[in-house]
Structure 1
Amino acid sequence: MRTTSLLASAAAVTALLTLTACGGGANPTVGGIGSGADTGTGGATDGGAHEGTLENPTKNGGVNGNAPKDGTAFQKLPKAGTMAAAARFIGGFTDCRQVSADNGEDGPKSADAEFNKAGTVTETGYCGGQNRTTILLYKDAKAFQTAFKAEMAKKGNRGNPDSGIVVGQDFAMGSQDADSMSALLQPQAGLLMLNCHPDFRPPSGFRKEPALVKGCVLTDYYMDH
Structure 2
Amino acid sequence: MRIKPALAAAAALLSLASVTACEDTGRKPGRDGAATPAQPGAPAPQPGPPSAGSTADAQKYLRRYASCENLATGGREDVRLRSSSVKTVGGPVREVGVCSDLRENGAIGIFLTPDMKEFQEAYHRQVMDKIAAGEPAYGLYSRVFVGKDFVAEPTSATTARALAKSGMRVLTCNPAFGVPEGHKKEKALADSCVLSDFVHTKDGADAGSPEPGSSQGGQPAQPANPGLPSAGSVSELRKLIASSVDCKRFSTDPETVAVRSIDYQPFIEGDPAGWGVGERGLCGQPGGAQRAHGLIWLDKVDDMAALQTRARAVQLKEIQENGGRPKATKSVLLLGGNVAIETNNAAARFGLYQQQFFRLECRPGFTTPEGYRSEKAVADGCTLTNFEPDGITP
Superposition TM-score, scaled by structure 1 size:
0.60
Instruction: Judge conservation of contact 1:164–1:196 (CA < 8 Å) in 2.
Output: no
Query: Offset at 1:223?
Result: 2.1
Instruction: Judge conservation of contact 1:162–1:221 (CA < 8 Å) in 2.
Output: no
- Residue 136 (structure 2) aligned to one of 158, 164, 187: 158
Q: What is aligned with 1:179? A: 158
Query: Offset at 1:177?
Result: 0.8
Report the CA distance shift for 1:217/1:113 in structure 2 as closer, same or farther (over 3 A).
closer
Q: What is aligned with 2:353? A: none
Query: Offset at 1:113?
Result: 8.2
Q: What is aligned with 2:80? A: 107
Query: Offset at 1:108?
Result: 2.0
Alignment gaps of 5+ in structure 2: 1-41, 203-394
Rounded to whole Å, the distance in 2 between the matches of 1:111 and 1:161 is: 12
Rounded to whole Å, the distance in 2 between the matches of 1:169 and 1:190 is: 10
- Residue 95 (structure 2) aligned to one of 102, 107, 123: 123
Report the CA distance shift for 1:163/1:125 in structure 2 as closer, same or farther (over 3 A).
same
Query: Offset at 1:98?
Result: 2.9
Report the CA distance shift for 1:155/1:95 in structure 2 as closer, same or farther (over 3 A).
same
Where is the helix percentage greater, Structure 1 or Structure 2? 2
SS of aligned partner of 2:94: strand
After TM superposition, the structure 1 = structure 2 runs for residues 173-212 of structure 1, keeping only pairs within 5 Å, are 173-186=152-165, 189-212=166-189
Query: Offset at 1:105?
Result: 6.7
Query: Offset at 1:141?
Result: 0.4
After TM superposition, the structure 1 = structure 2 runs for residues 63-74 of structure 1, keeping only pairs within 5 Å, are 64=46, 69=47
Rounded to whole Å, the distance in 2 between the matches of 1:169 and 1:208 is: 17
SS of aligned partner of 2:176: coil
1:173 corresponds to which letter in structure 2? A
Deviation string for 1:139-196 (max 9, x for gaps)? 100000000000000101622624241110111111211111111111xx21111111
Report the CA distance shift for 1:96/1:200 in structure 2 as closer, same or farther (over 3 A).
same
- Residue 61 (structure 2) aligned to one of 89, 93, 107: 89
Larger Rg: 2
Rounded to whole Å, the distance in 2 between the matches of 1:89 and 1:221 is: 20
Rounded to whole Å, the distance in 1 between the matches of 2:163 and 2:122 is: 22
Residues 1:77 and 2:54 are matched in the alignment:
no
Instruction: Judge conservation of contact 2:109–2:152 (CA < 8 Å) in 1.
Output: yes
Q: What is aligned with 1:138? A: 113
Query: Offset at 1:92?
Result: 1.1
Superposition TM-score, scaled by structure 2 size:
0.35
Rounded to whole Å, the distance in 1 between the matches of 2:78 and 2:194 is: 34
2:154 corresponds to which letter in structure 1? S
Deviation string for 1:205-224 (max 9, x for gaps)? 11221111110111001122
Report the CA distance shift for 1:80/1:178 in structure 2 as closer, same or farther (over 3 A).
same
The count of residues paired between Structure 1 and Structure 2 equals: 152
2:90 corresponds to which letter in structure 1? N
Rounded to whole Å, the distance in 2 between the matches of 1:165 and 1:108 is: 13
Instruction: Judge conservation of contact 1:86–1:171 (CA < 8 Å) in 2.
Output: yes
Deviation string for 1:103-147 (max 9, x for gaps)? 787422399887321xx2111111124401111000100000000
Rounded to whole Å, the distance in 2 between the matches of 1:199 and 1:208 is: 15
Where is the strand percentage greater, Structure 1 or Structure 2? 2
Deviation string for 1:39-70 (max 9, x for gaps)? xxxxxxxxxxxxxxx86x8xxxxx95xxxx4x
Rounded to whole Å, the distance in 1 between the matches of 2:86 and 2:175 is: 24
Instruction: Judge conservation of contact 1:88–1:97 (CA < 8 Å) in 2.
Output: no
Report the CA distance shift for 1:111/1:200 in structure 2 as closer, same or farther (over 3 A).
closer
Query: Offset at 1:77?
Result: 0.7
